[in-house]
Each structure stands twice: as structure tokens, then as C-alpha cells.
Amino acid sequence: MTSTPSISFAKFAAPKKGSAMVLVADGGVMSDAAKALDTAGAFSRAFTASDFSGRSGGTVEILAPEGSPLDRVVALGVGNPGEIDDYSWLKLGGSIGAQLRKAVEVAVIAELAERPLEAGEVARLAAGLLLRCYTFEKYKSRKDDADDKPANTRPAKVTIHCADPAAAKKAFADLQAVVDGVTLARDLVNEPANVLGPVEFAASAKGLEKLGVTVEILTEKEMKKLGMGALLGVSQGSARPPRLVVMRWNGGKAKDNPIAFIGKGVVFDTGGVSIKTAAGMEEMKGDMGGAAAVTGLMHALAARKAKVNAVGILGCVENMVDGNSQRPGDIVTSMSGQTIEVLNTDAEGRLVLADALWYCNERFQPKFMVNLATLTGAVMVALGKSYAGLFSNNDELAERLTNAGLTTQEKLWRLPLGAEYDKLIDSKNADMKNIGGRHGGAITAAQFLKRFVKDTPWAHIDIAGTAIGSLSNEINQSWASGFGVRLLDQFVRDHYES
Ligand code: BES
Ligand code: MN
Ligand code: ZN
């Protein structure tokens, strides 16, 4: 059962029943279509009574307006119409989503006083609305329990009234691809680890074949043959075998080297023998947030037929405690040939990514590699939960990612790399160790990854603080935000489509 609203687009017409949503600019300025719904001056009285001036983010609800067939009109403030950017439209759509409540029929009047909304703006409203209304309810067998947010068993039917419904529909199809990618990523992260193991994760990625993505799944045996001792060492304590997923979307020119995205897919992280404390360990079902974002991104690129060649690689393993688990002090040999002394089995994400990055680079000679990972608690100590950590060996790549972060409000903050940090992971007994000591933990983790990318332009995005246990905002109310999908889709749109 889903309560996902359905959305359609129509020409302006006065709604005759249900709820209507209208946009109000600074100073209480409304479009003619909105004013026409105000049959007996109820709006201006309500605005005054609730001190509403149309500032961005404000809302007023007018119930059963006098002389009107409508049950409810919600006025949404948009502030200064000259200052509404792409993300503001998405947020406004989110606010509309929040105002649906139990409404069944909803008309959104997509018009400002000066002009009707453009098709792209209308599409953003719709996308924001859907992102906001996402819920993860598949394991709630009782829909009517005490929880004060009962699922709406009759999903809202939202009609967006606009100047050019056909153009809006077309613009929305493109954004729907991205919304579906975010939804897929959120679903994967929210799914518990008993249901979603490495094999199941890979099977879910295989589902992208219906969009024209080529999906290969490497088994344990194949990874052994490739010499992926770092990834396999993490996996060896789990009863469930690992998988390496290779997704390819070829929407660009045949001769163009691909761009590549690599995700940490630890379906559950107990810490291994260096076991984590009990409190909050359940959150480690989300330790595949990087792999989920890469899967969601590949979905988005394929569904909107992006003109780019892109590779997505997922290292899917489970980090468990067992008689066969790897021990602190074990030395493993990575696919690169470099040896690693595993001093803490809880620093496992970097071990998985070491082999995934090396494999990607060797096989595809990508233009660049961007990896996403819920890699360290330390990145949250540094940046909190509002920014993901960005590390890169390439200033242009870092700047492009940072800018896509500003556009999408999936924000990145660059942290340093350097020789002084790199030497902290030198080991007495092997080429390197997998931890760097007490300080700068997010940085030493990044330095570790850097040893597996040669000179290929590369960026690492540490999403431990942003992908799971996410802050709620206008377009996300879920524990799993799907962080990275909108960011990387924007980054690809801005620079890599031919
Ligand atoms: N998956 C964790 C990082 C993490 C912590 C993600 C909290 C999301 C929320 C990672 O595998 C880990 O355990 N990192 C250790 C590294 C340490 C042992 C060097 C950490 O951050 O404590
Ligand atoms: Mn760990
Ligand atoms: Zn982990």
C-alpha cells in the first residue's frame, strides 16, 4: 500500500471541490486565478489575522471559505518572485506536499501575479512534492495504529493548473527520472539488512537492465581470481557472499571514455572483531548509502536517457563477527598488489573501496572517478550533518562537485589531503595500515583511498552524516535521504552531456 500522490497537469480552470493551493508573493500579492477563488474576501482577512505577508515558506490555511465550493484553500508564501531559484521551486513543492494532509483532491494554481509558472518551474513543484511525500511503510501491517501520522489509504490526486500542461508534463518526465532515482536510493538504505544482503542488493541493481543499463555481477570466485584481497577480507566473516556490481549506461559517443561512480555497499557493519558498541548499531543497515546513491544515479541517468557514458560500481559486502572473521593485525593483499595491515576491522569501507576503485580504473580508464561512502564517524565530528565531506586530487573536479552541491543543496565542504596526512597510514609491517590514529580520521580515510586511484582525477564524498539519520527538510522526511543522487545528476547535467 502506498500513499504516494498522483500528479497530473491541466489548463487553468476554477477548481470546484476539494483543496486548492495558491501562491502569494511578498506583500500578499496574488495572481488573478488565485484571487478568483476568494469569493467573499476571506483570504485577506485570514492573511491579516495570521500575520501572513507572503514571505517564503509561510503558509495560511483557510477552511471552508465563505461562498466557495472548496473545503480548503492553502496560501503558500513565495517571497520575492525575483529571487526564486531552482531549489526554491523544489522546496515550495515540498511545502505543498506537507499541506496535502488527508486531502483527496488538490488543485495547485501554478501562477504568480506577474506571470504563470514556466514548465520547468511547474515540474520542480511536482518533483519537490513527491520527494517530500516519500515514506517507508512496507513493514507497517497496521495502517491505522496509534501513530499520529496515519497513512492515507486514498492517495491524493494532485492537479497542477498551469499555462502549458503538455510542456509541464514533458519537463516533469525528465525530473521524474531523478525523483525515482532518489526514491530507489532511499528504499535501499531504509531496507533492513536481513532482507537486503549483498546478493539481494546486486539483484536490485540488476533491475536497472529494464532501463537499458548493462549490469554485470561478479561473484566471490571471480573476485578471488582478480586478487581482491582487501574487499574479500572484510566479507569473510559473513555467511552471505559478497558481490561486485558493474553497471554501464552508454548514452554518449562510443569513443568517449566513461565517467565513473563507485559506492561503498556494506549492507551491515557490526565493526567485525573490532566490534561497535550496541547503542545505535542498527543504523549500520545504512552503511550501503554510497552504493544506494550510485544505483539511484544510474537509474536517473538511464531513465532520462542522459547523453553520457557512465559506469557505476558497487562493492557489496557484510562486515560480521564470526569464527572466520578477519582479525586485527591481519595483512591482506589488495588487487593493486599493495599490502594492508588491518589494525581495526571497523575501518572496513576503505578496504572495500580500495579494490573497487582499482578495478574501475584498470578496466575502464575513466575520465574521472567519484566515490561515495558512509566512511567515517569523524566526518560528522568535523562537519555535522549539513555538509558531506569532499576530498579530491583535482581542483576542477572538486569545484564542479561543490557547485552542483550549491545548486541542489546537497552541500559539500572540501577537506585537505597532503603528504603529512598520508604518512600517518604508513605501516611497520605492510605497505599501509587501515587506520591513522586519533586525529583527522575523515582525512586519513581519504588518504587511504587515494593510494588506489593512481593519477586519475578522483573525488571521495564522505556521506556518513548526510545519507543516514538525515536532518528533515522541505523535501525529505525520511531517515534515509538518498543524498548524492540529485547532486551527481546535476553535476553530470552541468558538464558531461554531449
Ligand atoms: N560505517 C562506519 C562509519 C559510520 C559511522 C557511518 C556512523 C555512519 C554513521 C565505518 O565503517 C566506521 O566504522 N568507521 C570508523 C573508522 C575507525 C575505526 C577508524 C569510525 O568512523 O569510527
Ligand atoms: Mn566500520
Ligand atoms: Zn562502515
Of 492, 7, 5, 79, the closest CA to residue 252 belongs to 492
Question: Is 157 assigned a catalytic role?
Answer: no
Question: Could you report the per-residue pLDDT of 295-326, keeping only the tens digit for each?
Answer: 999 999 999 999 999 999 999 999 999 999 99
CA 326 to ligand 1 center in whole angstroms: 17
CA 378 to ligand 1 center in whole angstroms: 8
Of 330, 58, 362, the closest CA to residue 227 belongs to 362
**Residue 92 pLDDT grade (very low, low, confident, very high; cuts 50, 70, 90):** very high
Phi, psi of 168 (to 5 degrees): -65, -40
Ligand nearest to the CA of 462: 1
Distance, CA of 428 to CA of 450 (rounded, Å): 20
pLDDT, residue 474, reads 97
Question: Could you report the per-residue pLDDT of 465-482, keeping only the tens digit for each?
Answer: 999 999 999 999 999 999
The residue to mutate among 277, 281, 287, 424, having the most atoms of ligand 1 within 8 angstroms of its beta carbon, is: 287
CA 326 to ligand 3 center in whole angstroms: 15
Distance, CA of 345 to CA of 272 (rounded, Å): 6
Phi, psi of 215 (to 5 degrees): -125, 120
- Ligand 1 atom closest to the CA of 374, numbered from 1: 6
pLDDT, residue 143, reads 67
The residue to mutate among 264, 345, 376, having the most atoms of ligand 1 within 8 angstroms of its beta carbon, is: 376
Q: Which residues lie near ion ligand 2 (Cβ < 5 Å)?
A: 269, 346, 348
Question: Could you report the per-residue pLDDT of 327-373, keeping only the tens digit for each?
Answer: 999 999 999 999 999 999 999 999 999 999 999 999 999 999 999 99
Tell me if 132 sits within 8 A of 177, measured CB to CB.
no
Question: Could you report the per-residue pLDDT of 210-265, keeping only the tens digit for each?
Answer: 999 999 999 999 999 999 999 999 999 999 999 999 999 999 999 999 999 999 99
**Ligand 1, atom 8: nearest CA belongs to which residue?**
464
CA 495 to ligand 1 center in whole angstroms: 32
In the set 157, 206, 276, 414, the catalytic residue is 276
Residues 18-52 as b/e (b if ≥16 CB within 10 A, e otherwise) read bbbbbbbbbebbbbebbeebbeeebbeebbeeeeb
CA 207 to ligand 1 center in whole angstroms: 30
Pocket lined around ligand 1, Cβ cut-off 6 Å:
269, 287, 344, 346-349, 374-378, 435, 441, 464, 468
**Residue 379 pLDDT grade (very low, low, confident, very high; cuts 50, 70, 90):** very high
Crossing angle, helix 395-408 and helix 485-495, to 10 degrees? 120
- Ligand 1 atom closest to the CA of 286, numbered from 1: 8
pLDDT, residue 164, reads 98
- Ligand 1 atom closest to the CA of 344, numbered from 1: 18
3-state secondary structure of 135: coil
CA 371 vs. chain centroid, Å, equals 14
Task: Considering only the C-alpha atoms of the chain, give the largest distance between any 2 of them, rounded to a whole number of Å.
Answer: 83
The residue to mutate among 267, 346, 351, having the most atoms of ligand 1 within 8 angstroms of its beta carbon, is: 346
Tell me if 460 sits within 8 A of 373, measured CB to CB.
yes
- Ligand 1 atom closest to the CA of 271, numbered from 1: 13
Q: Where are the alpha helices (DSSP H) in 339-411?
A: 349-364, 378-383, 395-408
- Ligand 1 atom closest to the CA of 469, numbered from 1: 9
Question: Could you report the per-residue pLDDT of 121-149, keeping only the tens digit for each?
Answer: 999 999 999 999 999 999 999 865 545 55
Question: Is 350 assigned a catalytic role?
Answer: yes
Of 340, 341, 374, 338, the closest CA to residue 454 belongs to 338
CA 482 to ligand 3 center in whole angstroms: 17
Ligand nearest to the CA of 289: 1
In the set 350, 450, 451, 486, the catalytic residue is 350
